[in-house]
Amino acid sequence: MTRTLAAWLHGTRVAELKAASADGRGITLRYTPAAFDLVPGRAPLLSCSLPLDPRPLDATHFFAGLLPEGEALRSMADLAEVAAIDTFSLLARFGRDVAGAVVITDADVDDLEPRSPHIEPYQPGELDDAIANLPTRPLDLHDDSELSLPGLQNKLLLVAVDGGWARPRNGHASTHILKADDLRHPGLVDAEATCLRLARAAGLTSVDATVETFADQRCLIVPRFDRTSGPDQGGAPARIHQEDLCQATASDLRANGGRGKYASAGGPDLEDAAELLDSYATDPTAQLTRLVQVVAFTVAIGNADAHGKNLAFLHPTPGQIELAPLYDTVPTVLWPNLRTAPAMPVGPRVCNIDEITGRDIMAAAKLWRVGPDRARAAIVDCADTVAAALGSCITPDTPDALAASVLAACERLHDT
């Protein structure tokens, strides 16, 4: 008999999932009757790429987007004793705490919490060991881990407890993400923390980043913007639904040698994001203006790796979306061996991230039907805010070259 999984959203069983191929790579989704009571018409519920429809839908790329890449994916597959391409089996094993509010269980489960989700506080030295072992045990996976997080970098998921941190078990909702410094690019997490502080000053993120040292490694710790402190089922933190741009456009991450998140390899671009906001945002004008600010900020910090997995939408209410707080704000321009061409082109001109001007963003905004006065004001205001906040956001651990790079970029943004 074919195995079936259930997808839950805020306590409601909204869909059933089946493997669409023998290897588990493909996934078919069928919405439940309860889903049609949540949103009108063909509005998005789980994803902009999965509007409500009584027919079975191809949900392969949305659900594949909940899993990590690279070594973390291989480690998950080894623990589950399945192939790394078997998305269906991996979700069955690890789908209880993922990005957004969706929770995945076996279909024969009537209760959203058939097992008791709980936490295990890290004892002295245990978190240091977990971080030191991330290269061989990504996400600090254990036999009782039922969690997943997209991305390539060494990360793990934490739950904040009084006086320290705990490991989520059996699908307990995590509250924080820890990212260890990249030993190939030392200083990266301190640079990202500074840029997140700049993003907060610019009103573009709610993420309050801290950097701590564990196992002699600098580690960035950020609260999850898709979790709140209020209780969800089982007393866990409440989940907020979100999806990234690749999921919202059903982009195939495995395309072109696993580079499908980049626009140059067939992934989504800024115009795709603008079209979704225009279609589904409660206030499209405000959200498109915010998109202009996001692009200006990305240029200001020199982040050429702002691809479709690093731009996300919140679903504040069923059927509606808005831009999520910024995250993964890495100033790649500081490391010569990281990419220099923007992951999503800005305007029609082909150039590196440190050559983009305000005029390039104006040209892009015109395609999104953002008026020139509104676009110019958004760009200049972002540049001025970032430049003014720079002094208060830099710490002794911030890479020395960041300030000069940001100030030079802010000057270019005034060229509108």
Active site residues: 305
Range 377-389 burial, b when 16+ CB lie within 10 A, else e: ebbbebbebbbeb
Rounded to whole angstroms, the Cα distance separating 273 from 281 reads: 11
Dihedrals phi, psi of 412, to nearest 5 degrees: -65, -35
Dihedrals phi, psi of 230, to nearest 5 degrees: -70, 155
Question: Which residues in 195-271 belong to E strands, given as ranges?
Answer: 210-214, 217-223, 227-231, 237-239, 242-244
* Rounded CA Rg of the chain: 21
Tokens standing for residue 185? 């690019």
- HSE-CB at 373 with a 13 A cutoff on CA atoms is 0
Contact 224, 168 (CB under 8 A): no
Rounded to whole angstroms, the maximal C-alpha distance in the chain is 63
Closest CA to 38 of 261, 303, 311, 315: 315
Dihedrals phi, psi of 159, to nearest 5 degrees: -120, 125
Sign for the CA dihedral angle at 224, 226, 231, 233 comes to negative
Rounded to whole angstroms, the Cα distance separating 25 from 19 reads: 7
Dihedrals phi, psi of 315, to nearest 5 degrees: -110, 80
Amino acid at 232: D
Amino acid at 44: P
Closest CA to 387 of 407, 405, 411: 407
Contact 348, 379 (CB under 8 A): no
What DSSP designation does 122 have?
P
